[in-house]
Amino acid sequence: MALKIFNTLTRRLETFIPGGVPKERIEDYPPVTIYSCGPTVYSYAHIGNFRTFVFNDFLRRYLKFRGFKVNHAMNITDVDDKTIAGALKEGITLREYTDKYTHIFFQDLKTLNIEPVEHNPRATESIDAMIDIIAHLDKKGLIYKKDGSIYFSIAKFHRYGRLSNVTSMDMKAGARYDADEYSKEDVRDFALWKAPKDNEPYWDTPFGKGRPGWHIECSAMVRKIFGTTIDIHTGGVDLIFPHHENEIAQSEAAYDEPFVRYWIHVEHLLVEGSKMSKSLGNFFTLRDLLDKGYSPRTIRYLLLTAHYRKQLNFTFDGLNQAAQALLRIDNLIARLNDIKHDAPVNNQVADRCTAFVTAFTETVDDDLNIAGGIGVFFDFVHDINTMIDAGALGRPDAAIVMDTLEKIDTVFGFIFFPEVTPINKEEIEALIEERNKARKEKNFARADEIRKLLLDKGIIIQDTREGTRWIVKS
Ligand code: AMP
Ligand code: ZN
């Protein structure tokens, strides 16, 4: 049995071979290198974005479940038109502005039980790697400068369009492929580096002042972290063109080696038939749904259940059904916990557990078919319930089932969902007040206890000359 993944680049289901060289055993493979396009931190991410981030999480969890090691990066896009405009509007620095939304984003990931990844590079901390790409492209005569900006000449990169099937010839004159208003020689070209405008942050580089174009940011972070061809690059389907097409063009033209082996793209979360997006205004943030009383666990379940290559229509009915499904799981766990009597091991139970894990793996190995995997899981839940009804489980059997649930939850992340304490501002401030009082009374034990209590809730307190401040831990 081998894991097969649909590669957007070849439009085929391919056996997954990290590093490109087949090995006898999964443990012999080098860590799977993954890069996921991260959020632009100008506002709260919406649950459409989180569909893609939950998928990324499932992908890394499944690879680990299958025995692969992973080395995963997800970037933070912290410089673009929207972040710059937001910082200007609030009268704070770009870094202050993007820090705020980066914290919120990481908090939301944690709320959804999304595992931290190995690297979270920020675009603004990877300028050196962007300069390196542009210098390599310059040496090869693939770029030109106009009005202080630097453009990539896509007509000179013959493989352009392999990923998206949009060739440079298809791109119509007059159409706009870049949200920014910059002059260029050919409408099809894209900006690698943008001339500074008034009031905008800029960086000094050997080729002049300015700021990066969006596409080069990801190419640069991939290069800086992994140094060479990576195994997997993910993002939503809206990124195939032009973002990922442009990433391939500039990276492969600069370094003369394949950029990515497997491209994986997640279909959209829809609302009444349209893509959930900020610009259409048809979006819910995670906090919108939590405020309506839905649990993060239910939201994670809903976002995970559809196959990543199928669109998923968001409805409140769907959320309610997700909550019902979770209730079935909780019910099984409660029944297992109720089994107290000792009995010899019932091999039928252990065999059913093994058969379930095998069927689950076979199903999900087929292009990460989590929808099928969840179907197999509920068959298992049904069968175990039937066995409990028949009195076939003693305590050792219940423990085996529990182990199996724990094993499968390393992929799902919704069976034993961590209790996430919602952040309640009043509560935090009351605790800080109590701590200050304890310190005044020299009750340092209680003061430390409160600091730790807050830390457990993801709140860091800082004592400054102006008083005690608190921030959310990312
Ligand atoms: P952004 O912050 O807009 O760059 O988007 C972050 C990620 O969310 C990207 O991978 C997008 O492709 C993805 N994304 C945006 N809208 C949706 C949606 N409605 N459904 C699924 N993924 C989305
Ligand atoms: Zn990207």
CA of 236 to the centre of ligand 2 (A): 10
Residue 88 clears pLDDT 90, i.e. is over it? yes
- The confidence score (pLDDT) of residue 181 equals 45
The residue with tokens 């962007």 is: 130
Range scoring the smallest mean pLDDT among 131-145, 171-185, 247-261: 171-185
- Is 373's C-beta closer than 6 angstroms to any atom of ligand 1? no
- The confidence score (pLDDT) of residue 472 equals 60
Nearest to 217 by CA among 35, 368, 13: 35
Task: Give 216-248 pLDDT, tens digit per residue.
Answer: 999 999 999 999 999 999 999 999 999 999 999
CA of 218 to the centre of ligand 1 (A): 15
Nearest to 230 by CA among 256, 265, 259: 259
Q: How confident is the model at residue 474 (pLDDT cuts 50, 70, 90)?
A: very low
CA 237 to ligand 1: nearest atom = 12
- The confidence score (pLDDT) of residue 314 equals 97
Pairwise CA distance, residues 36 & 53, whole Å: 8
- Is 325's C-beta closer than 6 angstroms to any atom of ligand 1? no
- Is 75's C-beta closer than 6 angstroms to any atom of ligand 1? no
Distances (CA, A) of 251 to 130, 230, 261: 10, 12, 13
In the chain, what are the domains?
Answer: 4-280 (3.40.50.620), 316-412 (1.20.120), 425-472 (no CATH)
Q: What is the mean pLDDT of the chain?
A: 93
The bridge status of strand 260-266 relative to strand 230-236 is parallel
CA of 222 to the centre of ligand 2 (A): 10
Rounded to a whole number of angstroms, the distance between the first and last alpha carbons of the chain is: 39
- The confidence score (pLDDT) of residue 422 equals 56
Q: Which ligand is nearest to the CA of 282?
A: 1
Distance of CA 56 to the CA centre of its chain: 5
- The confidence score (pLDDT) of residue 178 equals 54
CA 268 to ligand 1: nearest atom = 20
Pairwise CA distance, residues 85 & 181, whole Å: 15
Nearest to 217 by CA among 206, 231, 203, 199: 203
Task: Give 344-353 pLDDT, tens digit per residue.
Answer: 999 999 999 9
- Is 39's C-beta closer than 6 angstroms to any atom of ligand 1? yes
Pairwise CA distance, residues 333 & 116, whole Å: 27
The residue type of 290 is L
- Is 367's C-beta closer than 6 angstroms to any atom of ligand 1? no
Pairwise CA distance, residues 397 & 404, whole Å: 11
- The confidence score (pLDDT) of residue 166 equals 84
- Is 277's C-beta closer than 6 angstroms to any atom of ligand 1? yes
- Is 236's C-beta closer than 6 angstroms to any atom of ligand 1? yes
Closest residue to atom 5 of ligand 1, CA basis: 39
Q: Which ligand is nearest to the CA of 78?
A: 1
Task: Give 92-129 pLDDT, tens digit per residue.
Answer: 999 999 999 999 999 999 999 999 999 999 999 999 99
Closest residue to atom 14 of ligand 1, CA basis: 49
Pairwise CA distance, residues 474 & 472, whole Å: 6
Distances (CA, A) of 255 to 72, 127, 217: 21, 17, 16
Closest residue to atom 6 of ligand 1, CA basis: 39
Dihedral sign (CA 164, 167, 168, 172): negative
The residue type of 46 is H
Q: Please state the rounded mean pLDDT for residues 264-283.
A: 95
Task: Give 22-51 pLDDT, tens digit per residue.
Answer: 999 999 999 999 999 999 999 999 999 999
* Phi, psi for 264 (deg, rounded to 5): -120, 125
Global pTM value: 0.88
- Is 296's C-beta closer than 6 angstroms to any atom of ligand 1? no
Nearest to 371 by CA among 306, 299, 298, 323: 306
Dihedral sign (CA 468, 471, 473, 474): negative
- The confidence score (pLDDT) of residue 3 equals 98
Residue 167 clears pLDDT 90, i.e. is over it? no
The two tokens of residue 329 are 């799981």
The residue type of 113 is N
Query: Which of 52, 164, 240 for a ligand 1 pocket mutation test, highest count of atoms within 8 Å of Cβ?
Result: 52
- Is 46's C-beta closer than 6 angstroms to any atom of ligand 1? no
Secondary structure in 3-state letters for 132-187: HHHHHHHHCCCEEEECCEEEECHHHCCCCCCCCCCCCCCCCCCCCCCCCCCCCCCC
Task: Give 380-422 pLDDT, tens digit per residue.
Answer: 999 999 999 999 999 999 999 999 999 999 999 999 998 655 5
Pairwise CA distance, residues 122 & 97, whole Å: 14
Element (H, E) at 299: helix 296-305
Pairwise CA distance, residues 458 & 66, whole Å: 31
- Is 235's C-beta closer than 6 angstroms to any atom of ligand 1? yes
- Is 49's C-beta closer than 6 angstroms to any atom of ligand 1? yes
Q: How confident is the model at residue 464 (pLDDT cuts 50, 70, 90)?
A: confident
